[in-house]
Amino acid sequence: MSSIYYYLAGFLFTLGLLGTIFKKDLISILLCLELMMGGVSLLIILFSRSTGLLDAQLLVFFMIIVSACEVAIGLSLIIALHRKKQTIYTDDIKIITE
């Protein structure tokens, strides 16, 4: 199997990690977390195909389900926060002090 897929998985994870660190609005951070999850899922699929075990593909299927639930809950929390604070930027939100 070509190693380009391993580089792609690493690139997706790194891009998501950098976006999570440097982005300032919550929707972009949530999308970057999903990008990281996609990189991890791709890497698990690649290891599954290289070892010949199909159990990891079932794990990735459940990861996709959990990821969809994560997006739904995350977006609902972001909408609730936007209704209360009128912003979604992390610099403007101080939840702990209030």
- pLDDT, tens digit, for every residue of 52-90? 888 888 899 999 999 999 999 999 999 998 898 888 888
What pTM, to 2 d.p., does this model score? 0.85
Task: Give the residue from 71, 74, 52, 53 showing the smallest Cα distance to 63.
Answer: 71
Contact of 27 with 82, CB cutoff 8 Å? no
Q: Is residue 16 part of a domain?
A: yes
Q: Is the pLDDT of residue 95 over 70?
A: no
**How many domains is the chain partitioned into structurally?**
1
Position 90, amino acid? T
The pLDDT tens digits of the residues spanning 2-23 come to 789 999 999 999 999 999 999 9
pLDDT at 50 over 90: no
CATH number of the domain encompassing residue 34: 1.10.287.3510
In a domain, 63, yes or no: yes
The CA R_g of the chain, rounded to the nearest whole Å, is 17
Residue 72 lies in a domain: yes
**Distance, CA of 73 to CA of 29 (rounded, Å):** 14
